[in-house]
Each structure stands twice: as C-alpha cells, then as structure tokens.
A and B are shown apart, each in its own frame.
Chain A
C-alpha cells in the first residue's frame, strides 16, 4: 500500500484582508443565527416556527463553514458580536422581536441583511481564488433562498394594505439600513467596527480587486430590486436609498 503524501494547504495571499472579510462574515452569520432563533419566538404558526429554527441552523452551518475554512488556512478571525455595527443590527432586530412583529423581523433578516449577504458574498467569492472564494459563492446561493422565502409573504402583506406596509417598510429601513449604510460608507462613520483586526478593512479591499463603493452599490441594487419585487413603489424606495448616510 502506497503512503499518501499529505500536501500542505497553499498559503493564502493577502491573508490580512481575507481574515477581516471572514471575521465580518462569521460575525454576520452568528447575528443571523441569533435573529432567526429570536424570530422563532415571535411566531405562532408552528410550521413557520420550525422553519425559522431551520434557518437559524442554516446560518449556524454557514458560520461553521467559514470558521472551518479559517482553520484550514491557519487564519485567526475576530468574532465579536459586540462590535458597533453588528450589535446595532442585532438591537434593531430585537426591537421588532420584542414586539412579536414577525413581519418586521422578516424584513430586517431576510430582506435587508440577506440582500447584503447575497451580494457581498458573491462579489467576494468572485474575487478570492480557490476554496475560500468557492465557499462564499456557495453560501451566497443558499442565502438567496431566504430572500425568495420572504418575498411571497411580504408581497401578500403589501397587497393587504399598501400604504401602511410602505410606511412600515420605511421605518424599518431607517432603523436598519442606516446602520448597514454607515457600515459600508467609504469612511468609518462611527469609528472602528470592532471586528477588523487592525485598520478598517475597506482601505485594503483593493488588494483583492474590490472596493467598498462597488460592494455597497451592488448590495443596494439587489435591495432595491427585492423591494420592487415585493411591490413597493420605486419612486419612494429610490428616495430612501438617496437619503442614506454616505
């Protein structure tokens, strides 16, 4: 029997920026997991309750996937759920969870956060070669299903009462998208995020042919298209985006 030769994993180029990206991804997935777990508590319908737990588990698996790939390549991510932006997102979600506002929770988790996840994972996946990039692309595809899951439910809500749903959406947009807009602004509007290891990773994205403007632009594009599919009036949603912190 031949001895199998164990090949060492190739060294990750630009490991600093890739570690920071993975840190943000893991922290974001754990926030998503916590959100879906909280969401399960807001739902009376047991099918939806079980589905929510399943989604929480899905986010856990994504976090585990990212943690495993860090281990594989010897990268040491920072996982900090208390970092300014992620903690603010979590608080924004909990505000609606405490009110047992299932629709509000769905909008934050499955529209706003997932649009950012799907779009940014896709862009990052295309830019990082090898298995790390492939993992981002695979998780991006899986997160798309969460967006699809929410669209039908939210469409029905919109059809029931377009005016009040649009108003509700605008309020949640102001609560949550403002945080995500600050997080993806060109400069750190609220200081260090608490997740990146050193300086803000936005300054180093060019090492892997990315920049924060296009990452944010593509995420906003997907968000706008998703709102459009839900049936929200684009005259209004474009105004919401234009008024975001820049």
Chain B
C-alpha cells in the first residue's frame, strides 16, 4: 500500500531584475528558430505587453524526495518598479496570482516586488480559492539573520561586541531582522527613508531596553557599523566604502542586488544576502530559462522568498505563512529555517557577483 503523504504543488511569481537577463532569454528563444537578435530597444517596447504567464516547470530535489512546481513571470519591466508604475504592477501581480490559482497551485511565493500585494495593509490578498499566497519574507529574513551569525563566526568580530546597521529597518524583512537581533548585538543602528516609522521603531526598542540609534541619513550612520544588513536597494552613496569601517561586512539583501563591489576596499566584504542553497539541486523545464534568467556564480542557488513556498509545500502546509507588514515573528523564522534545513535547503555560502568569498 502506498503511504506517501499528499504532495502539494508550489508556484513562484516573480520578475526580472535587469534587462541583460531579459535580452539573453528573448534572444535565446529567437536563436532557437533561426531568427535575428532583437535590440534592447525593441525588447523594451514589447516586454510589458506580455500577460503574466507560466514560463517553466521546476523540479526540486529535497532530502524528502522530489517536489514539483512552476514559475510564473509577471513581466514587470525591471526599470518600471517605482512608485509611478505601482498600479500597473499591482494589476500584473493580481493577474499572476489568478493564473497560479487557475493552474491549481497550493502555495505560491510572491518574489521581489510582487510581494507588495500581500504587504499592503489596505488589501487582503492571501488566497484565491484553495491557492494560498506568501511573501516568502519569513524565510528570507531567517536566512539573512543566519548568514550574519555565520559571517561573525567566520570573519569576526563577535556580534555581542558589534554594532549592526539595518538599512531599510522598518520594512517587513528589515523589521524582522531587527526583532531577531535585539539583545544579541551591542547596538542596533536603524536607517529608513521615512522618519515617522523610524522614530517609532527606535522608541519601541528603547522602551524594551535595547541600545539603539536611528538616522534617515545613511551617510551619518554608516561609519558606526561593523555589520550591515542592506534590505533596500540603491540607497548607498557612490564611494560608500570610504564611509565604512575598515573591516565592515555587508549583507546585500536588496532586490535587485546592486551594491557595487568597486566601491569597497579589500578588507571590507559584501555578500549576497537572503539566498538559499538547494543541496540536492533543482531543474527547470524547458532548461534554457535556467541558463538565461536564473544564473548565479554558484550552482543550485535560489532566493529565500521563492524557497519559502517550496518548504511549505514539502511540509504539506498550504498557508499564507508570511503576509502583511511587520508580522514576522522570531518563532516563525526559527521554524521555517529548521524546516528548510530538514529538506536540504540551507543558507547559501558567501558569494557575490565576483564568485565565492574566502
């Protein structure tokens, strides 16, 4: 008699973070039919007209066996993720969610900017029929905090003697990391764009007896940090390396990852944060998407947010695990990190765009 537990189907909704990847994927398709390459200009003109669509099937090899799912591309242009296009992007994300429900996914991770529909406080968008949606932010936050602890063990100094700066501290992932490290480091340094939420965060932490300091100007607070978790993208000034401590370590957990390695010196370190290693590997079908739109300097790397849906499917938990803003608990971070590890999904080794870090 077959005693296999029921398998859930996962899905990931995402978008591309740069045009280079999109050019590669579009022109690899044209090449396969013997057609000439399209220019960046031509691709930019047509890209946003594509409706959200399933692009490929995914097969994950876990410690507990294979699990299948698929990737739905939202076709948001990488340079159209700002406030000006928010309604277009919300529309695309919702259409992608409806597509996932039609395809019968049980649990769906909303990668990158698409998580906005779940983080938005004004709208409940946690399920369509039996399809549940999760931002994936709990596993991302857990992977980030795990990587910082590993970085401290590997390169020092100890966290108890260090100041830890959170750039984007009031966001969903940033605030989860702050809660996790409260009481575990010498001082919490907080930075966010909006002063209101930032001041409230500092006030609350101080009320609980934690040593912390906040500033909306990252240039003022950057020189005080030993470790930096950068959740927001494109917020550091040019030549920011000159503002950093000599041995500062940066976890670049923004999306897209765009902190320049050229701006730091040889004693400072930047690594890609919030990334997982799928120990037993994964495959995309058709496989040309794996080569063109999901390539990292190391094999079997994936974003933490996307892996949250995989872990939940493996755990046979079709629930909207991460939703809203500021709701991630330390307990849930511990749970999802342990569950991921059980299935062979762990914090990625330290790497950046130049490769593996020593």
The answer to whether A and B interact is yes
Chain B's nearest CB lies how many Å from the CB of A240?
9
Residues of B within 8 Å of A241, CB to CB, are 50
Assess whether B49 is interfacial by the CB under 8 Å rule: yes
Would you call A235 and B286 a contact (CB within 8 A)? yes
Evaluate whether A224 and B29 lie within 8 angstroms (CB atoms) in the complex, with A217-B45, A246-B38 already known: no
Assess whether A7 is interfacial by the CB under 8 Å rule: no
Would you call B53 and A234 a contact (CB within 8 A)? yes
Complex Cα distance A243/B99, Å?
A: 24
Would you call A218 and B42 a contact (CB within 8 A)? no
Instruction: Give B residues with C-beta under 8 Å from A.
Output: 26, 29-30, 32-33, 35, 38, 42, 45-46, 48-51, 53-56, 99, 286
Q: Which of B29, B45, B99 sits near A242, CB closer than 8 Å? A: B29
Would you call B33 and A234 a contact (CB within 8 A)? no
Assess whether A225 is interfacial by the CB under 8 Å rule: yes
Interface residues on A, range: 10 to 19
Complex Cα distance A237/B55, Å?
A: 10
Question: 1/0 per position for A136-166, CB-CB distance to B under 8 A?
Answer: 0000000000000000000000000000000
Complex Cα distance A233/B38, Å?
A: 23
Shortest Cβ-Cβ A-B pairs, 7 listed:
A217-B49, A234-B53, A243-B33, A242-B29, A221-B49, A234-B54, A213-B45
Residues of B within 8 Å of A238, CB to CB, are 29, 50, 53, 55
Most buried by B among A218, A241, A243: A243
Complex Cα distance A233/B99, Å?
A: 12
Q: Which residues, 188 to 225 on A, are CB-close (under 8 Å) to B?
A: 213, 217-218, 220-221, 224-225
Residues of B within 8 Å of A224, CB to CB, are 50-51, 53
Complex Cα distance A238/B55, Å?
A: 8
Would you call B51 and A221 a contact (CB within 8 A)? yes
Assess whether A228 is interfacial by the CB under 8 Å rule: yes
Complex Cα distance A221/B53, Å?
A: 11
Would you call A243 and B35 a contact (CB within 8 A)? yes
Would you call A243 and B30 a contact (CB within 8 A)? yes
A selection of 11 A-B contacts at a CB cut-off of 8 Å is A217-B49, A225-B51, A234-B53, A234-B54, A234-B55, A235-B55, A238-B50, A238-B55, A239-B33, A243-B35, A246-B38
Residues of A within 8 Å of B33, CB to CB, are 239, 243
| Chain B minimum-CB-distance residue to A246 | B42
Would you call A221 and B50 a contact (CB within 8 A)? yes
Would you call A242 and B51 a contact (CB within 8 A)? no
Complex Cα distance A224/B55, Å?
A: 13
Residues of B within 8 Å of A234, CB to CB, are 53-55
Complex Cα distance A221/B26, Å?
A: 17
Evaluate whether A235 and B29 lie within 8 angstroms (CB atoms) in the complex, with A217-B49, A221-B49, A224-B51 already known: no
Residues of A within 8 Å of B49, CB to CB, are 217-218, 220-221
A235-B53, A242-B30 known, 10 other contacts, Cβ within 8 Å: A213-B46, A217-B48, A224-B50, A228-B99, A233-B54, A234-B55, A242-B26, A242-B29, A243-B30, A243-B33
Residues of A within 8 Å of B29, CB to CB, are 238-239, 242-243
| Chain B minimum-CB-distance residue to A233 | B54
Chain A's nearest CB lies how many Å from the CB of B76?
14
Would you call A235 and B46 a contact (CB within 8 A)? no
| Chain A minimum-CB-distance residue to B49 | A217
Chain B's nearest CB lies how many Å from the CB of A140?
18
Residues of B within 8 Å of A225, CB to CB, are 51
